Structure 1
Amino acid sequence: MTNSGDKISRCYSQEDVQQILQLAIARQVDDDKEFSHEVLLEIAAELDISPESLNLAEADWATKQGEIQHRQAFNLHRQRRFKKRAGNFAIVNTFLLSMDLLTGGGINWALYILLFWGLFVGLDGWNTFQMKGEEYEAAFQRWYRKNQLKRSVDNIVSKFIKFTSR
């Protein structure tokens, strides 16, 4: 047994400290409560984090949040595109199956179209909901560059219109 006067030395790695503090903050704070920048500075000062390090960390966080938003927009764009393609597939193949059923007394040729086209819709669905890997990253980069270019052109056009309307 240890005496009550003995102190137990506890040592934590930086990652452990981060996880413990994150859990403690999550338990203490209401979901609706937000911290001001001043409170963030005070917390950093108590943890001996320099204001420069805090500013760099905040900038990194803002960059990551922006990328997360872009990826969410990209994923939403892909899902909408897939829903449109799946809807087109369903409408066209329903029409073809109905036409084949009404004209031939059964389903013959339309089944081949349904299966062949269904293969491509299935592959498209697989690619749409696969959100990891090199193909996903390449598709995201293409989409991001395309959107950046579109924003730049829109910006130039709007400036030109403002300039000419004076």
Structure 2
Amino acid sequence: MSAFTPENSPIYQHEDIQEILHIAIARQTDPGEFSRKELVDIAAELGISEDCLQSAEREWHEQQFIQQKYRTFNLYRQQLLQNKAGKYAIINGFLIVIDFLGGHTVSWSLYPLLFSGLWVSLDAWKVFLLKGEAYEQAFLRWERKRQFKRSIGVFWQNLRQVVQE
């Protein structure tokens, strides 16, 4: 394979240009932030219209908003798992202590430890499995629940304002 030089450069596809520019921006020695004006100037230099840039910017903001929702959902699920693991540890520790104090051995308390450990492991698997239909359904259920709580909160707030007037 011959070495790359600008003289023998190939014709680039649209996706290739995106990747090359992405790498170049990431490797830039001054990894500062860009203002909106600089973004508009860069787009103009690349021949991107203002309408196209605004549309892309809107889409990017929507994607960021959705990604933030997914991050919040994942954090919520991890906190639930931590709570379950804490309860698991406390309850099973208590059962092991009772079993040990009753006969100076650990015998029957291993069964609840194993069965509840299986349930916690399955919950952990579900929490860290971030793809698939079950994950999307869980996310949608969580999002509907949040929206419902928000709408109930708004309703009560409006009702209080009406009653106070």
TM score, norm. by length of structure 2: 0.89
Inter-partner Cα distance in structure 2 for 1:49 and 1:59:
15
- Letter in structure 1 aligned against 2:30: D
Q: Percent identity?
A: 46
* Structure 1 residues without counterparts, runs of 5 or longer: 1-6
Q: Please report how far the alpha carbon of residue 137 of structure 1 lies from its aligned counterpart in structure 2 after TM superposition.
A: 0.8
Unaligned runs of 5+ in 2: 1-6
* Mapped partners of 2:138, 2:131: distance in 1: 11
The 5-angstrom pairing of residues 76-87 of structure 1 reads 76-87=75-86
Displacement after TM superposition at 1:67 (Å): 0.8
Letter in 2 for 1:61: W
Report deviation, 1:9: 6.1
Pairwise CA distance, 1:63: 0.7
Tell me the equivalent position of 1:15. 15
What's the counterpart of residue 112 of structure 1?
A: 111
Question: Aligned partners of 2:163 and 2:40: how far apart in 1?
Answer: 47
Task: Tell me the CA shift for residue 34 of structure 1.
Answer: 1.8
- 1:62-141 to 2 correspondences below 5 Å: 62-141=61-140
- Give runs of ≥4 in structure 1 deviating > 3 Å: 7-10
**Cα distance in 1, alignment partners of residues 9 and 37 from structure 2:** 33
Q: In 2, distance between residues paired with 1:113 and 1:96?
A: 8
In the superposition, the TM-score normalised over structure 1's length comes to: 0.89
Cα distance between partner residues in 2 of 1:159 and 1:16: 53
Query: How many residues end up aligned between the 2 structures?
Result: 159
2:4 match: none
